[in-house]
Chains A and B, each alone.
Chain A
Amino acid sequence: MIFLFIALPLVVAGVLPLVGKVSKRVLPDALANAVLLFLLVESALLGKQLASTGPFVQEFSWLGEPVNLRLALDGFSLFMLFTVSLVSFCVGIFSIDYMEHYGSKANYWALFLIMIAGMNGLVLSTDLFNVYLFLEVAAVASYALVAFGLEHDELEAAFKYLMLSVVASAFLLIAIAVIFGVTGSLSFTAVASGLQDLGIKYVVGFCAALFIMGFGLKAALIPFHAWLPDAHPSAPAPISAMLSGLLIKVSGVYALARVFFNIFGLTPALSTVLMYLATLSMVVAAFLALGQKDIKRMLAYSSISQVGYIVLGLALGTPLGIAGGLFHLINHALAKGLLFLNSGSIQRSTGTRNLDEMGGLAKRMPITAATNLVGSLSIAGVPPLNGFWSKLIIIIALVQAGQVGFAIVAVLASVLTLWYYLLIQRKAFFGKLNERWKEVKEAPFWMLASNVILALICIGIGIFFSLTIITWVRPAADALSQGVRSAFGSWGM
């Protein structure tokens, strides 16, 4: 019943404010986390089902009448669904303690669940207009969540995020309108076949450019990144983790890949444009991250850089490249989620995000220091952690495809990444303990629990990387590398 992934969070979100009247904290926490846990278990079970049945479409009837609720699940959507469920569950646990002092928890959880419903819907829908609508659902919830603290910075960041997101939505909507105009349809299958029959190169090119700008803005690829370094650091830490870990990937990378692989079909020209954009993001954002003093801002720039890696792997278009890109997607979602949550722990304990003011925190917060080290080394690509394998696969794929130049840039950007992550580790956790932090305590239980779970998953995937690739990444990569055929064949429409 894949409709549950949309309906359950929505229904619970609708009930939560009422529940909040009865119990301000415990019930909303319990209810929301129960939903997140259920979705995680359900997505894992769906993996088993998909392995035996193959991709399938579900349609629904209401009191015997068929209604047009059409959702499809293939390897790629399942992969995203699982990533969303896994990271949001960990972020959910973290929020129990972290959101305590913000007040209005029921509202927070309602918005959080709506954002998840939006992301799940986007991943499952088979219709361009539904993609746009679910994208907006997730986005509207995320604007409010970025501004949740109601401080000046947060409101300003949310406003900037809203303004640039609206521009992205406008681009997407125009592209969808043009496609609807020429093909007379919105469903992936009909659009894919319509565009092939018509053979209208220029119109497809125009729409592709609009989609690149729209999804590029959502994924914060350079030069469309201006909103991210403001929005992500200003949000409460769990929301930063959700935005950087998931939202930019679902509404940016997933949608981009779905449109370009399964609807338009990846052409060499498109592939080249995307690879250059990705490389630019990778390198420029890594340099920008180096100069940051605010720990969350540094992490935000790092997200732009890592999305560059993901898009580079995908845009290469070879099966190995796609697998590498997708594997890096889940690895980055986990590790960046972990790092943003860690930064939240630090901010809550010390009250600052400025790296220069920290120092020696490992003595007072040993577990946070350890989990932060795992996250940092994972994103920097140090073996045997998960990030190493995905970067390795991307680089091998680049070399195999004869793109040695891109491969060298990817390696060099990885060195830069290691540099600024060691900088965080050294400035925040190592060295002499700053006098100001003598009384600092380790983060509360639920925050620690979530950090430890994420760190263990990072290590686990690193050790059992081949198992992860076989069960989760390969079916997803297959769905993408089949290209336009996947839209016709596997969904049987």
Chain B
Amino acid sequence: MVLQILLLFGLVFFSVLAILIKDLLKAAISLAFASLLLGIIFFRMNSPYAGVFEISVVAGLITVLFMLTIALTKGGDAVESKTASFAFPAFFVIFIIIDALVMKKLLQKVPALPGPEVGGTIGQVLWKARTLDLVCQIAIIFAGVFAVLALFRKGGNKDE
């Protein structure tokens, strides 16, 4: 239980950090940390499907794409917006309040069917249970790579 609470706190902490940090690279890394923790939480809550996707796609693939993009682009002008710096903390506080007041009661009221009996190693889940998702992942990686290649091509104007 203590570990679970620590994990949840870590998740919220790194998520908030990802939004508030100015340095894009550090923001991407803390986002990856947040999703790594989320993946572990999923595994501990007996949802290996979700855990596998969270860690492989969000913590792994997306972070790589972020870093690639950050490495390929130059830093632009810093955008300073006062509304943005107020809006997020305000939204966050409101969300926490609503969450604390409503969610538990609401979830108890919704009946649910038992989830599927899933277990086994990551490999079994990934290769046997959700193979088509893997095909999709390959397609998305392709799309991302070709998008980066196309958008950052040399002398990429129409008169080339």
Q: Are A68 and B131 in contact (CB under 8 A)?
A: yes
Decide if B139 touches A118 in the complex (CB within 8 Å).
yes
| Given A10-B138, A182-B111, A203-B110, A67 contacting B147 (CB threshold 8 A) | no
Of B15-23, B69-77, B87-95, B149-157, the stretch lying at the interface with chain A is B149-157
Nearest CB to that of B144 among chain A residues?
A: A140
**Once the chains bind, are B158 and A102 in contact (CB under 8 Å)?**
yes
Partner of A198, one of B111, B127, B131, B147: B111
Q: Report the count of interface residues on A (CB-CB < 8 A).
A: 52
Give Cα A68–Cα B133 distance, bound, in whole angstroms: 9
Q: Is the interface of B mostly helix, strand, loop or mixed?
A: helix
A172-229 interface (Cβ within 8 A of B): 181-185, 194, 197-198, 200, 203
Chain A residues with Cβ under 8 A from B149's Cβ? 17, 104, 107
A17, A104, A127, A151, most chain B CB atoms within 10 A:
A104
- Is B143's beta carbon under 8 Å from chain A? yes
Q: Which of A102, A110, A182, A184 contacts B146 (CB 8 A)?
A: A110
Quick one: CB contact mask for A119-134 with B, threshold 8 Å, 1 for yes? Answer: 0010001010110011
Choose from A10, A66, A200 the contact partner of B139 (Cβ within 8 Å).
A10
CA distance A228 to B133 in the complex (A): 28
When A and B form their complex, which 7 residue pairs have the shortest distance between CB atoms, in order from nearest? A144-B147, A133-B136, A184-B115, A103-B160, A140-B143, A137-B139, A67-B131
With a CB–CB cut-off of 8 A, which chain A residues contact B129? 68
User: Which residues on B sit within 8 Å (CB–CB) of A103?
Assistant: 153, 155-156, 158, 160
CA A181 to CA B110, docked complex, whole Å: 10
Q: How far is the CB of B79 from chain A (nearest CB, A)?
A: 14
- What would 8 more interface pairs be, CB under 8 Å, given A182-B113, A185-B113? A102-B158, A104-B149, A108-B150, A111-B146, A137-B136, A144-B150, A182-B110, A182-B112
Inter-subunit contact A137/B143 (CB<8 Å): yes
**B44 adjacent to chain A (CB < 8 Å):** no
**Separation of A185 and B130 alpha carbons in the complex (Å):** 12
A67 and B128: CB pair below 8 A? Answer: yes
Find chain B residues with CB under 8 A from A181 CB: 112
User: Inside 8 A of B115's CB, which chain A residues have their CB?
Assistant: 184
Bound complex: CA A101 to CA B159 (Å): 6
Contacting pair A104 B156 (CB below 8 A)? yes
- A144, closest chain B residue (CB): B147
A241 at the interface (CB under 8 A from B): no
* B135 CB-CB contact with A under 8 Å: yes
Partner of A194, one of B113, B140, B147: B113
Does A143 count as interface, using CB distance less than 8 angstroms? yes
B132 at the interface (CB under 8 A from A): yes
Task: Flag whether A148 is at the interface (Cβ < 8 A).
Answer: yes
B123 contacts the other chain (CB 8 A): no
**Cβ of B120 under 8 Å from chain A:** no
A17:B156 contact, CB within 8 angstroms: no
Give A residues with C-beta under 8 Å from B: 6-7, 10, 13-14, 17, 65-71, 101-104, 107-108, 110-111, 114, 117-118, 121, 125, 127, 129-130, 133-134, 136-137, 140-141, 143-144, 147-151, 181-185, 194, 197-198, 200, 203
Q: Is B142 interfacial (CB-CB < 8 Å)?
A: yes
Whether A104 pairs with B112 at a CB distance below 8 angstroms is no
Do residues A144 and B156 form an inter-chain contact, with CB atoms below 8 A?
Answer: no
- Chain A's nearest CB lies how many Å from the CB of B61? 12
Contact status of A141 and B147, CB under 8 A, knowing A121-B139, A150-B157? yes
In the complex formed, the residue of B with least CB distance to A132 is B136
Chain B residues with CB under 8 A of A17: 146, 149
For window 88-135 of chain B, which residues contact chain A by CB distance below 8 Å? 110-116, 127-133, 135
> Which residues between 37 and 56 of chain B lie within 8 Å of chain A, taking CB atoms?
none
Q: How far is the CA of A368 from the CA of B115 in the complex (A)?
A: 58
Using A107-B149, A140-B144 as known contacts, say yes or no to A114 and B116 having CB atoms under 8 A apart.
Answer: no
A228 to B65, CA, bound (A): 26
In contact, B139 and A114 (Cβ under 8 angstroms): yes
A sample of 26 cross-chain residue pairs with beta-carbon separation below 8 angstroms, ordered by A number, consists of A7-B135, A67-B128, A68-B129, A69-B131, A70-B132, A101-B158, A102-B158, A103-B153, A103-B158, A107-B146, A111-B147, A118-B143, A121-B135, A121-B139, A130-B136, A133-B136, A137-B139, A144-B150, A149-B158, A150-B153, A150-B157, A182-B110, A183-B112, A184-B114, A198-B111, A198-B112
